[in-house]
Amino acid sequence: MKYTIACFMAFLVAGEVLAQNKSEVALTAKINNILRKMTLEEKIQMLHGNALFSSAGVPRFGIPELTCDDGPLGVREEIKRFDWASANWTTDSATFLPNGSAIAATWNPAMAHKYGVVIGEEANARQKNIMLAPAFNICRMPLCGRTYEYYSEDPYLNSQLAIQSVKGIQSQHVAACIKHFAANNQELNRDSVNTIVDERALREIYFPAFKAAVQQGNAYTVMSAYNKLNGYWCSENDFLLNKVLKNEWGFKGAVMSDWSGVHHTVAAANNGLDIEMGSSGPYDQWYFAKPLLAAVKSGQVSVKTIDDKVRRILWLIYHTSMSSNHSTGSIATPAHAKAAYDIASESIVLLKNDAHLLPLKVNNIRSIAVIGDNAVRRFALGGYGAGVKAQHEITALEGIKSRFGKTASVTFAQGYKANYLANNTDAQNAGYDQPDQMLIDQAVALAKTTDIAILCIGSNREFESEGHDRKNLKLPFGEQELVNAVSAANPNTIIVIMAGAPYDLNQIKKSNHTIVWSWFNGSEAGNALADVLKGIVNPSGRLPFTFPVSLGDSPATALNTYPGNNMTADYKEGILVGYRWYDTKNIDPLYCFGYGLSYTNFTYSDLVTNKKVYKRGDKITVSLKVKNTGAVAGKEVVQFYISKLNSTVLRPGKELKAFKKIMIAPGQTAPVLINIAINDLAYFNDKLKNWMIEPGQYKILAAASSRDIRQTATFNIK
């Protein structure tokens, strides 16, 4: 019977693939037919922006304009066609989705998919064909201003989330635009820096999520990065765009430039860029407008090259706005708010709960002081980065009032002033890190009178912003002084930090007993946070990047490669990015990759691999048992790392190769079964330009974080 069902399923899948192939063949014929009738001028029109967020279609064949919008936090408000000012629409309020590092902290690809579906549905409602999302450059350097938009320091976690975000968006027949390809890991000098990255690091660290999003997610568009990679602008980088992306990975869609990220006509056209986008006209003077027409006429760019670009664009239009399955979409619906809530509530990381203050015992609490600017701040907008005109955004104070206000008095004190704007000069921002004693005194006076103090600190979208990096890891706005004063005044102080990137939490970790990490967590942030504090949600977020003890410990700073010399950032750490660096160099982090607590405890047992010896092409089936030994249900993120023992080449101490998030009822034991392909244990040999599987002994680690190894087993590769 099982066999019959399997045969029937295989028959259905094969039928579907056949039908898909057939329709792709028909589509190719249709596209070729249109292409034959197009003039060169019409083709060139399609290859560059005709407004801030669109490029021309071919009206006489009924091909519509290609319209795009930012991402990643949600569908951006409508701006004017030719400038960045608001179009003052009343129908463009959208769902504000949790930021990239929040999604990554869920360690749950299903959440990335949920995110994508919302983005896709809302893009359809706004008639956008391409969403400029997701963004998943590797978090190489903790100060990078866009860390909050990106996912992780780990290529595997990055890949699993990227695939699902793309699939989610594209399930709505909207193109995802994965960005920024590649090695765009700092904002300082981003449009002039030349990043020098060896091929092994590119292949093992910086490329995997892009490759996975293309090959497994079938991403329709890719955005080239602003920076140079190994001497060539990413928008005209033959290795990156032609050799790797299009030829090796088989990318069928279109590469668009980052806004005003093109530098030459002929080099960009011949080296793989398909669409030039930018910030201001005159549009017919752009590299891919009149100059490209001239370059074709003078023979520097072939018609074949132009046709390939147009073919790619038509292909993506037929898969999006002209797809027969294209829906009208929906925006800012209760279902979308619920998705934002689900993601936010899985992203919150419990960093410390030594006094078992959390979850708050409602019956004993008569009064709560909520303190800090971040308790009332909305994060949908701010700084240079794309934001969202959020239909609603529940602040921490609103969430806490709604969850605790019936049984306790909830009062607020500002605590600190967030005196920092991304577009101010350093001189204008001077003093932003100073405490405001009057606000501290008011907060202390309030905290003295309440049973509990919830201190909401961290950063905001002005302080973490596209276009600039932070200068150090210090908490801004004199927050440490506020923490010290409030914690001294109220022994039941809970520190809640809202930010998108690592900060220096040394003192807080040492002196405070209760620390919760939240993010720029979207429309439902306050509700999700309050539900975690109340125990309605058992926290299950895990850090997607390392928090170093000091900036000097982190690779780019230790090797003096940030921001680079003479506009060159040499990634000397190679593959040793994130925990790979800290592990290999034996440096203790403040909080390690993968870390996060729960209101329950889990024990691991019976780690077994299905065999002891494997060969190339095999897969390891790993089983493990995880028991919830506490009194409440909870989700555990089981992490599987692999170490190569006695390697003859440099290998990181360990590398994440699989993970699974599972809900386990109290007292229950859950079986965990995962597969790891032996081929995925290869390293890239820079000299031979090939992936190599080292024979010999390996260790598999089942872990609750990158530094909390619970079970190990060994196996061999022949």
Helices and strands (DSSP H and E) totals, the chain: 19, 27
Three-class SS of residue 550? coil
From candidates 58, 103, 105, 132, binder to ligand BGC by CB under 6 A: 132
The interface with ligand BGC within residues 168-187 (CB under 6 A) comprises 179
Angle at 100 between CA 97 and CA 104, to 5 degrees: 110
Binding mask 386-405 for ligand BGC (x = CB under 6 A): x-------------------
CB closer to ligand BGC out of 130 and 157: 130
- 258 has catalytic annotation: yes
Smallest gap, in angstroms, from Cβ of residue 417 to ligand BGC? 29
Smallest gap, in angstroms, from Cβ of residue 175 to ligand BGC? 13
Show Cβ contacts of residue 124 under 8 Å, excluding neighbours closer than 6 positions.
Answer: 172, 173, 174, 326, 327, 328, 329, 330
Q: Are 67 and 128 in contact (CB under 8 A)?
A: yes
CB closer to ligand BGC out of 98 and 415: 98
Using CB under 6 A as the binding rule, whether residue 69 contacts ligand BGC is answered as no
Question: Max Cα separation, the chain?
Answer: 81
CB closer to ligand BGC out of 259 and 547: 259
Using CB under 6 A as the binding rule, whether residue 70 contacts ligand BGC is answered as yes
Tokens representing residue 614 in the block: 């494997």
Of 69, 70, 92, 258, catalytic: 258
Phi, psi of 635 (to 5 degrees): -105, 130
Binding mask 203-242 for ligand BGC (x = CB under 6 A): ----------------------------------------
> Which residue's Cβ has the minimum distance to ligand BGC?
132
Using CB under 6 A as the binding rule, whether residue 259 contacts ligand BGC is answered as yes
Smallest gap, in angstroms, from Cβ of residue 147 to ligand BGC? 14
CB closer to ligand BGC out of 385 and 539: 385
CB closer to ligand BGC out of 76 and 319: 76
In sequence order, what E strands does 576-694 have? 602-609, 613-614, 619-628, 634-644, 655-664, 669-677, 683-685, 690-692
CB closer to ligand BGC out of 421 and 559: 421
Catalogue the long-range contacts made by 246-251 (C-beta closer than 8 Å, 24 or more residues apart).
246/272, 249/211, 249/214, 249/215, 250/214, 250/215, 251/214, 251/219, 251/222
Binding mask 340-379 for ligand BGC (x = CB under 6 A): ----------------------------------------
Using CB under 6 A as the binding rule, whether residue 468 contacts ligand BGC is answered as no
Q: What's the rounded Cα separation, in Å, for the pair 40 and 193? A: 35
Q: How many residues bind ligand BGC (CB under 6 A)?
A: 6
Smallest gap, in angstroms, from Cβ of residue 24 to ligand BGC? 29
Smallest gap, in angstroms, from Cβ of residue 259 to ligand BGC? 4
Q: What's the rounded Cα separation, in Å, for the pair 109 and 458? A: 26
CB closer to ligand BGC out of 258 and 479: 258
Query: DSSP assignment of 212-257, as one string?
Result: HHHHTT--SEEEEPSSEETTEEGGG-IIIIIIIIIIIS---SEEE-
Q: Are 466 and 150 in contact (CB under 8 A)?
A: no
Smallest gap, in angstroms, from Cβ of residue 306 to ligand BGC? 25
Provide the b/e sequence for 15-49 (b: ≥16 CB within 10 Å). Answer: eeeeeeeeeeeeeeeebeebbeebeeebbbbbbbb
Q: Are 348 and 390 in contact (CB under 8 A)?
A: no
CB closer to ligand BGC out of 178 and 369: 178
Provide the b/e sequence for 395-420 (b: ≥16 CB within 10 Å). Answer: bbbbbbbebbeeebebbbbbbbbbbb
In sequence order, what E strands does 528-633 have? 568-570, 602-609, 613-614, 619-628
From candidates 154, 204, 236, 258, binder to ligand BGC by CB under 6 A: 258
Show Cβ contacts of residue 235 under 8 Å, excluding neighbours closer than 6 positions.
Answer: 224, 225, 257, 258, 261, 262, 263, 268, 273
CB closer to ligand BGC out of 190 and 401: 190
Smallest gap, in angstroms, from Cβ of residue 52 to ligand BGC? 8
Smallest gap, in angstroms, from Cβ of residue 34 to ligand BGC? 28
Q: What's the rounded Cα separation, in Å, for the pair 509 and 506? A: 5
Using CB under 6 A as the binding rule, whether residue 42 contacts ligand BGC is answered as no
Smallest gap, in angstroms, from Cβ of residue 75 to ligand BGC? 12
* Active-site annotation, residues: 258
Give residues in contact with ligand BGC (CB under 6 A).
70, 132, 179, 258-259, 386
